[in-house]
Amino acid sequence: MTPQYRMDSVDRLGAIPIAGASGARPQMLEALTVMSRGQGMAVVSHYNVQPVVDIFGTVQGRDLGGVARDIEPIIRDMEKALPRGAQIIVRGQIETMNSSFSGLLAGLALAIVLVYLLIVVNFQSWLDPFIIISALPAALAGIVWMLFLTHTTVSVPALTGAIMCVGVATANSILVVSFAKDRVQEGVGPLVAAVEAGFSRFRPVVMTALAMIVGMVPMALGFGEGGEQNAPLGRAVIGGLTVATLASLFFVPAVFAWLHRAPTAGVTERRV
C-alpha cells in the first residue's frame, strides 16, 4: 500500500514500484500503464451496490403527496429515454410516505377485522357484530368530510386518527346493539327494541363521543409550536366521531330492526 502523501502528482504516482513474481525485479507503474489527467465526480454514491446520480429536491408551500403525483408523469416520460441498464428511483420522504400509508391502511383494515372477530366471540353471533360495525363506514366518511372542509391533506396523523375512531365508534354501537338484543330476548319486537335502544342509550353514547371530541379540539386547532403536525389527527377524530355517533344512534338501530325483522303473523309489538 502506497501512502497517500506519495501520490500527490502524476510523476510520483508513476514512480510507485509494482512487485512481480517472486525474485523478479519490481517495475514502475508508469512502465506498465498509461496515465493522463481527467475529470470525474468527487463523490460517488451507490444504491443497491450500483452507482447513482442523486437529484435532491424539497417541498415548500405544498403537500408532499401533491408534489409526488406531479413527479410521477415526469419520471414515466424520462424512463423512455433512459439508456439500457439505467433506471429512475424516487427515494427520500416520498418513499417513506408511501410505505407509511400502506402500513397504516393495512393496519386500519386489520383493526376492523380484529374488532369484528372479537365482537363475534363476545356475542356468539355473526350477525350482531356486522350490525355493530355498520357504523364504521359513516366514521370514515366523516373523516373525509372533515379533512375536506378544513383543507387538510390525508397524512399519517390523519390515518392514525381514523384507527382511533374505529374503537370509539364500535364501543358506542355495542351499547345500542347490546341493549336492543336484550330487549328482543325479553320478547319485545325488533323494531320496538331498536327504538328503545336509541332512546335509552342516547345519553351515554353522546357523552362518550362528546368527551373525545372536546378533548381533540385544541389539537385540531393546531395551537402551539409544531401543533399543525398533529392537527390532522384531531380533525380526523372529530369528523369521524361526529358522523359515527349519529350513525350509532339512528343508522345502527335501523339496521338492527331490518336484519332482525320477524314475520308479521303472530307477532305483537309494544308501542312507545
CATH number of the domain encompassing residue 181: 1.20.1640.10
Domains of the chain: total: 3
Question: For 31-75, what is each residue's pLDDT tens digit?
Answer: 888 888 788 777 788 888 888 888 888 887 777 777 888 888 888
Element (H, E) at 107: helix 93-123
**Residue percentage of the chain with pLDDT more than 90:** 7
**157 in the same domain as 59:** no
pLDDT band at 263 (very low <50, low <70, confident <90, very high): very low
Asked if residue 68 belongs to a domain, the reply is: yes
**153 in the same domain as 60:** no
CB 252 within 8 A of CB 193: no
**25 in the same domain as 142:** no
Q: Which three cell numbers stand for residue 121?
A: 366471540
Whether the predicted pLDDT of 24 surpasses 80? no
Range of the domain at 250: 106-259
pLDDT attached to residue 265: 34
CA neighbor of 245 nearest in space, from 138, 144, 102, 162: 138
The amino acid present at 180, given as its one-letter code, is A
**54 in the same domain as 8:** no
Asked if residue 270 belongs to a domain, the reply is: no
Asked if residue 56 belongs to a domain, the reply is: yes
Asked if residue 266 belongs to a domain, the reply is: no
CA distance 80 to 87: 10
**194 in the same domain as 130:** yes
Question: For 139-183, what is each residue's pLDDT tens digit?
Answer: 889 999 998 998 888 888 888 888 888 888 888 888 889 888 888
